[in-house]
Amino acid sequence: MTDGEVAPASKKTPLAIIFVTVFIDLLGFGIVLPLLPRYADAFGASRLELGLLMASFSAMQLVFAPIWGGISDRIGRRPVLLIGLAGSTISYAAFGYVTTLGASGTMLGLAVLPWLFLTRIGAGIAGATIPTAQAYIADCTSRESRTKGMALIGAAFGIGFTFGPLIGAAFVSDEAGGPPSPMAGYVAAILSGCAFLWAVAKLPESLKKGESERAGKFHLKHIGAAFGDAAIGMVLLTIFVTTCAFAQFESTLSLLTEALGESDQDNFLIFAYVGFILTLSQGFIVRRLSTKVEPKLLALGGTAVMIAGLLLIGLAGKNGSVSQLFMVLPIAVVGFSAVTPSLQALLSLRTATDKQGEVLGLGQSMSALARIAGPVIGMRMFDETHVEWPYWAGAAMMGVGLVLVAFQRGGQGKVAEASATPDSAETGSSVE
């Protein structure tokens, strides 16, 4: 309802629903992702098929994030978010059903894989509405509180990534080589369904009257215009580089812990530990700093801290010390938790109010592309005799990110200039 009432920034319920929406997306992701290798082994997948299965989710986000964002600029944030939650509910329920049939032997092992792909593709398409949630935050926050608002989404990421692996750990089969419990998909579906019903009942539209008319129809040429703008294009490139560096760490962490002698259960707990640190950092430290430090300086500090953290993780792996790894993990995670919302805030502030969903969708696409490229680079570099290589390479990549952040300049981009209106400063959503 694009001509409905605007959700006031003082109302906590809409922001709480946005928080829960992102939390549910990452909770389902965190439940299912660590289990995918076990499902794939149980159903006869090759390493190549497993890699494609894991990449299919991010690939869909790469394609659909700007599309959903552009559509939300036109028809409103609420309907797109509802579609995403409904899609997640259906996809995770289908995942549970397919794995139930596979585990019971009703379907032949190889026949399960195509259906697993379809469920992960569906979940990726539905989960690509996260930029719409970011645009909702942008609609409801002022320029000064934009980074703080984006950190709220980051905190939801962290909590989802904390409890997802903890729930997923309950579905690790005690039987050696046995298939995992199919209940993981059903749990994620139930949680998504509850969030959908809450949003239907309580989530108002945030898009202000008249902004959808200014947005016009979604066209791919809008994406080219965003990349062609120096200010926005630089932020998009920085998002890709920094996320790619973190994805190298994220994707190889389980290999590192295995090389250090940790069990599968311990691996789940380590991922939950990472998510817990991310939650505390973005929920408390970054949200408080964001009101005192401008986004560029916060991003600079975050990249510098993450460089140090990745170097120390590589050193801990080289020394074969699990205790040292636990001590230095927070450094890298805290650094990255400052970088992400700061860059999202910079991207939002350089974008006109009627293009928020579309351009923030491009930012999510860059993150998705980085989460495809990062694991490929990290897996190729990981060697049991040189476990430190992916992390030191990630630190070097973050060094490039540090330079890119330093060269970020102020001023609104061409996309913002082309769409700006005289009343934009009065709405609390003006561009930088």
pLDDT digits (tens, 9 = 90+) for 113-151: 788 889 989 999 998 888 898 889 888 888 778 888 888
pLDDT of residue 7: 42
pLDDT of residue 285: 87
- Six token digits for residue 377: 């680079």
Q: Which residue has the tokens 């905190």?
A: 155
Four-CA torsion 139, 365, 274, 164, nearest 10 degrees? 80
Query: Biggest alpha carbon distance in the chain?
Result: 66
Angstrom distance (rounded) from CA 35 to CA 111: 19
- In sequence order, what are the residues at sequence separation of 6 or more whose Cβ sits closer than 8 angstroms to the Cβ of residue 219? none
Any domain includes 326 = yes
Percentages helix, strand, coil for the chain (3-state, rounded to 5) are: 80, 0, 20
Any domain includes 27 = yes
User: Residue 185 is part of which domain span?
Assistant: 12-427
Any domain includes 59 = yes
User: How far is the CA of 182 from the CAs of 13, 161, 408, in angstroms?
Assistant: 33, 20, 47
pLDDT of residue 47: 61
- Please name which of 129, 6, 134 lies closest in space to residue 71, comparing C-alpha atoms: 129
Q: How many CA atoms lie within 13 A of 182 on its CB side?
A: 17
CATH code (residue 204): 1.20.1250.20
Angstrom distance (rounded) from CA 351 to CA 372: 26
Q: Which residues of the chain have pLDDT under 70?
A: 1-12, 33-42, 45, 47-48, 51, 103-111, 169, 171-182, 209-227, 264-265, 409-432
**pTM exceeding 0.95:** no
Any domain includes 6 = no
pLDDT of residue 429: 36
In the chain, the number of structural domains is: 1
Angstrom distance (rounded) from CA 228 to CA 78: 29
Any domain includes 96 = yes
Q: End-to-end distance of the chain based on CA atoms, in angstroms?
A: 28
- Please name which of 181, 188, 33, 184 lies closest in space to residue 103, comparing C-alpha atoms: 181
Any domain includes 262 = yes
pLDDT of residue 19: 86
Angstrom distance (rounded) from CA 241 to CA 373: 10
Any domain includes 417 = yes
Any domain includes 124 = yes
Task: List beta partners, residue 383.
Answer: 386
